[in-house]
């Protein structure tokens, strides 16, 4: 029996709306947006999944996080953090209202909210009630660009419906983003790969790409998407405009851990099979990115540590987990990029900035 995803992967069905005209000038750019990761919506029925309360994966913490995101433009770009100059190009300026929130995976804690039989997952429903644009204090006030992670995609259903958890999450991404002649998505994008559910869009002269678990992912029947990515970058970013990419796995120790046969666990010292993605996976992705103006790659997966670092010559950024209050605030202009990592502090939208980074495109 041929699965729909296998057919699409082989046929490489791509929906692309209006690539840039050849020779057209890069538009003037001044774009502000938010990036979050690891929401881990954890509701099951009237309660929470096991251990979620102890880990802080509560609706109250998500509401505190949403309050911080919604009020971010009431703050100024920090001139100092912990007494040290931030070096930001926009230091001291009022933060513009973000154009959107990009999610770097793990929107749910356990496959959307598992039940024994196929049905609507309680955790996906909780996520949609909080992180879909709306009004009031219990919803994000900006468009949300969804990415999935291992907690969303790694669960298997009961045979013969092994893929139904994954399909539910992928269907949610499509309903929100895939352009269609017959249906207008909540947050339409410019280029959608139906096989991999990777997609891209443009804000002024900035090109943005969502790669789900990671660019080139083939785990659990995923379609890869590197051929799509290669064509997308050629169509939209061949003129040298900045590109920002989003995925769940990164280049940090947790994302790179391998099986340690002596300790019988995955860790940073292991030399066995990779836990999440391999050296070959990373090399294949990096090869596609060569020659493009990659401003940064944002990721998630690790929860506790706010990170701004370099790997393979690229700037890599990861906020702390959303359920812990974390977010990245980003501003991109034609001259450069400002990034600040922060965390929610209270129920009224208060924030604390943790780290900052400026990158010049000159």
Terminal-to-terminal C-alpha distance of the chain = 54
Query: Helix, strand, or coil here: 310?
Result: strand
Residues 6+ apart with CB under 8 A from 21: none
The CATH code of domain 28-360 reads 3.60.21.10
CA distances (Å), origin 307, targets 84, 106, 250, 281? 17, 18, 10, 22
What pLDDT score was predicted for residue 46? 72
Query: Helix, strand, or coil here: 30?
Result: strand
Distance, in Å, from the CA atom of 10 to the CA atom of 298, rounded to the nearest integer, reads 29
Distance, in Å, from the CA atom of 138 to the CA atom of 109, rounded to the nearest integer, reads 20
Closest CA to 355 of 306, 303, 305, 296: 306
What pLDDT score was predicted for residue 190? 97
pLDDT tens for residues 158-195?
Answer: 778 778 788 889 999 999 999 988 889 999 999 999 99
Widest CA span in the chain: 63
pLDDT band with cut points at 50, 70 and 90 for residue 279: very high
pLDDT tens for residues 136-166?
Answer: 999 999 999 999 999 999 888 777 877 878 8
What pLDDT score was predicted for residue 110? 80
pLDDT tens for residues 12-22?
Answer: 444 444 555 45
Question: What is the pLDDT averaged over residues 67-95?
Answer: 97
Please state which of the ranges 86-95, 214-223, 307-316 shows the lowest mean pLDDT.
214-223
The answer to whether 88 and 77 have CB atoms below 8 angstroms apart is: yes
Distance, in Å, from the CA atom of 63 to the CA atom of 56, rounded to the nearest integer, reads 12
CA pseudo-torsion sign 164, 301, 338, 347: positive
Tell whether the model's pLDDT for residue 8 goes beyond 60: no
Question: What is the pLDDT averaged over residues 28-56?
Answer: 90
Average pLDDT, the chain: 90
Q: At what angle do helices 59-70 and 122-130 cross, to 10 degrees?
A: 30
Closest CA to 199 of 162, 229, 244, 224: 229
Tell whether the model's pLDDT for residue 9 goes beyond 60: no
Q: What is the pTM of this model?
A: 0.91
The answer to whether 143 and 175 have CB atoms below 8 angstroms apart is: no
Distance, in Å, from the CA atom of 176 to the CA atom of 143, rounded to the nearest integer, reads 10
Helix ranges, 30-108 (H): 52-55, 59-70
- The two three-digit tokens of residue 28, written as one number: 């003037």
120 DSSP assignment: -
pLDDT tens for residues 320-355?
Answer: 999 999 999 999 999 999 999 999 999 999 999 999
The rounded Cα 133 to chain-centroid distance in angstroms is: 16
Tell whether the model's pLDDT for residue 4 goes beyond 60: no
pLDDT tens for residues 96-111?
Answer: 999 999 999 999 998 7
């Amino acid at each position: 029996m041929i699965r729909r995803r296998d057919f699409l992967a082989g046929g490489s069905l791509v929906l692309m709306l209006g690539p840039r005209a050849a020779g057209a000038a890069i538009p003037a750019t001044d774009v502000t947006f938010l990036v979050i990761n690891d929401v881990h919506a954890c509701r099951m029925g009237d309660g929470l999944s096991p251990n979620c309360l102890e880990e802080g994966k509560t609706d109250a913490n998500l509401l505190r996080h949403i309050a911080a995101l919604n009020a971010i433009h009431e703050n100024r770009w920090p001139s100092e953090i912990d007494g040290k100059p931030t070096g930001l190009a926009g230091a001291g300026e009022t933060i513009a209202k973000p154009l959107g929130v990009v999610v770097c995976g793990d929107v749910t804690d356990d496959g959307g909210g598992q039940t024994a039989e196929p049905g609507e997952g309680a955790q996906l429903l909780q996520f949609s009630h909080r992180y879909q644009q709306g009004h009031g204090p219990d919803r994000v006030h900006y468009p949300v660009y969804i990415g999935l992670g291992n907690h969303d995609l790694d669960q298997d259903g009961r045979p013969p419906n092994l893929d139904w958890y994954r399909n539910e999450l992928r269907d949610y991404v499509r309903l929100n983003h895939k352009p269609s002649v017959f249906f207008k998505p909540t947050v339409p994008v410019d280029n959608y790969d139906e096989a991999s559910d990777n997609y891209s869009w443009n804000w002024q002269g900035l090109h943005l790409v969502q790669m789900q678990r990671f660019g080139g992912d083939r785990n659990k029947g995923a379609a890869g998407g590197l051929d799509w990515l290669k064509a997308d970058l050629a169509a939209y970013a061949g003129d040298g405009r900045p590109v920002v990419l989003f995925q769940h796995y990164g280049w940090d120790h947790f994302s790179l851990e391998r099986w340690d046969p002596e300790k019988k666990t995955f860790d940073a010292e292991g030399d066995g099979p990779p836990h999440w993605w391999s050296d070959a996976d990373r090399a294949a992705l990096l090869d596609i990115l060569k020659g493009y103006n990659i401003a940064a790659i944002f990721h998630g997966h690790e929860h506790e540590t706010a990170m701004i670092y370099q790997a393979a010559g690229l700037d890599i950024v990861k906020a702390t987990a959303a359920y812990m209050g974390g977010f990245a605030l980003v501003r991109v202009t034609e001259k450069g990029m400002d990034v600040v990592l922060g965390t929610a502090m209270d129920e009224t939208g208060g924030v604390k900035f943790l780290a900052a980074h400026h990158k010049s495109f000159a």
